[in-house]
Structures are given as C-alpha cells and as structure tokens.
Amino acid sequence: MLDRDAIKAIIPHREPFLLVDEITDLVPGEQATGLLAVTEDAFWVPGHFPGHPVMPGVLIVEALAQVGAAALLALPHNAGKIGYFAGIDKVRFKRQVAPGDTLRLECRITKSRGPIGFGEAAAYVGDEIACSGELMFAIK
C-alpha cells in the first residue's frame, strides 16, 4: 500500500491536484488500484454546485489517469518522467460522486509501445460503477 508521500515519489502531481489518497495495489507496467476519499473541503465543492456538490467528471477521469500514470511511472525506466493525457475514449458516467463517497480507482494497462500507453479505467463507489473509459498516455 502506498500513501500520498509514496505516490508523490512516483507521479509529479501535488495538492490541490493530487487526486489519489492511497494506492492499494500496484503492478508496475500492468495495473494499479487507488482510493480517493471525497471530502467536503475539496477545492471544487463550493462551486460545483452550491448546495448540491457533485464531483466534476473531468476530475474523476483525472483521478483515474493518475492511478494509471502511477502504474506506468513505477517502471524503473520511467522514473522521474511525466505521464500526459494523449487521448480519452468511451468515457461514461453512471453515478454522481459527492462528498462522503470513497472512489476506488482502477486502471489496467492494456498496451504500451515506446512512450505511449493505453489503459482501461473504472471508478467505483462501493460496488457501483461511477465512471469508466479508455485512457491513452504519453510518457515524457
């Protein structure tokens, strides 16, 4: 299990944009699973939406990408590099995510060729799927 400090040693993201609290499972180059506790003091709560906070879908996708980036950047030859979005496909949102929820973020790397990687990702609240899609990464 990796805490926020250990995650920061792998990916370059920092507060307020580090969207993974811990990584519970990591197989470098293959897959990772992480958790994010969605809290009332998250930076987006006051404005999205006042009186009815809903985590923006783009932030859910970003959290999934951070978990996927951890899987790719944990490979020794990628240490110290940055994983950039190169594509986002077939993303679907099935459930709203709100403060008090805990997101389980899963990304399985399906293909990697040179600096380009592809992953299938899904975010869950409990056993309910909140978001799923395909991610493409460029490692530089």
48 is catalytic: yes
Quick one: CA torsion of 32, 11, 43, 52, rounded to 10 degrees? -20
Query: What CA–CA distance (Å, rounded) separates 34 from 44?
Result: 20
Q: How far is C-alpha 119 from the geometric centre of its chain's CA atoms?
A: 11
Q: Determine which one of 13, 48, 52, 77 is catalytic.
A: 48
Q: Contact, 15 vs 73, CB < 8 A? A: no
State the catalytic residues.
48
